């Protein structure tokens, strides 16, 4: 699998993190995009450390407590030429270039 996109609808619980780690372990995506993570600040750094992906960019969610909404994340490994074109609280525009014959 080259890429994965997931509308997560909240990534703060251990159960949700374990589900994501399980998919990454089985599918080995070179990049993945997460929306509706409802994470911000230090929560991103904790997630990045747990997932062991070197490259990442995050957009914090809006609101606090049970009123949180949004939150975007993009992770990718060193095998890809990934260029982030633009991003906001509502989108991430990126381009991935693959070499012919790559897995």
Distance CA 103, CA 100 (A): 9
pTM over 0.85: yes
pLDDT for residue 25: 95
Q: Which residue has the higher pLDDT, 10 or 83?
A: 83
Distance CA 22, CA 14 (A): 12
Question: Has residue 80 got a pLDDT over 60?
Answer: yes
pLDDT for residue 68: 94
Q: Kindly state the tokens that stand for 58.
A: 């995050």
Distance CA 31, CA 80 (A): 8
pLDDT for residue 97: 87
């Amino acid at each position: 699998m080259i890429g994965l996109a997931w509308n997560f609808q909240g990534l703060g619980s251990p159960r949700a993190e374990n589900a994501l780690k399980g998919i990454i372990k089985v599918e080995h995506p070179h990049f993945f995009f997460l929306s509706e993570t409802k994470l911000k600040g230090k929560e991103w750094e904790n997630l990045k450390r747990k997932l062991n992906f070197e490259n990442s960019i995050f957009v914090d969610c809006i609101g606090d407590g049970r009123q949180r909404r949004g939150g975007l994340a993009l992770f990718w490994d060193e095998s890809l030429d990934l260029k982030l074109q633009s991003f906001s609280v509502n989108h991430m525009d990126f381009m991935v270039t693959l070499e012919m014959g790559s897995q």
